[in-house]
Amino acid sequence: MLDPVRDISVSGSSLRIRSGSVVVLQESACPGVTGSASMRMRWRDGRQWSSSKLCGSFLLYREVAKSDNFVEQAKEDTTLFSGLSLRQGTHIVPNGLAKRTISVDGSDNNRYRVISYFFPADVQDHYKKGKRSRCILPTPSQLPEFSRFEARVEEMNSVYTRNNFDQQQQQQKQQIQSPSQTSPIAASPMVSTPRHLNGSLPTPNFEPLSIYHSAPPPVKKCCPCGGLKNLSAFDYFKRDRSWLEQPVYLRPIRRLIQ
């Protein structure tokens, strides 16, 4: 929309700074882009400013002057943007200028510094709650010169929102497909093995397998009371798996155990 001015003086004294002035400087250029020489310089507008204060995404400054033999003759029209730290021996110029700066990335992949100048009284209605009167300085969205960019800005915002949503969906799918699982070996408690004095592991004493193959089968023990005949208690309940759901019946006892 605007053509860059490259023959501007470094001091900026040739510019007439007033409330509503906006200066855009190119901070850095995208490497490899033809004709994108950067104006690497420290912008000076010939005025004295307070220390910067973070104001949203901007850096805020107020115009100051030296306090030597200063006699305050006028009071501020508004207390907006008045709480700034001042250097020793300086004071805020009553109803003086304020400026806000921000760095933005352009669609040409270059980085720009935007500096706006204004009187706080000219923008105070933008910060009032409820019904607002018409401000002396409108916002860019209220200017007809920028109306042709509104559709493009809305389109870029929708694309940015959609890309963020798609990225979140992709991350959720990846988390579902590859959940982090802890191996049973890593999760099981580790048991330390005693070592000999020389640091080697002890040799375990293994029993020969022949003792397991040659051992006689275990003798099946019957119920000592004789109520289950040749069945053990375990075999009886194993054969009748529904015994928990039936009433209790006791078989006749053949003999009493002394």
Q: Which residue has the tokens 């400013």?
A: 49
What the block records as the tokens of 55 is: 């104001």
pLDDT per residue over 68-123, tens digit each? 766 666 777 777 777 777 888 888 888 889 999 999 888 788 888 899 999 988 88
- pLDDT per position as a tens digit, 187-224: 555 555 555 555 555 565 656 655 555 555 555 555 55
CA distances from 148 to 8, 57, 64 (A): 29, 25, 38
CA distance 170 to 149: 31
**What is this structure's pTM?**
0.52
Residue 100 is inside which H or E element, if any? strand 98-105
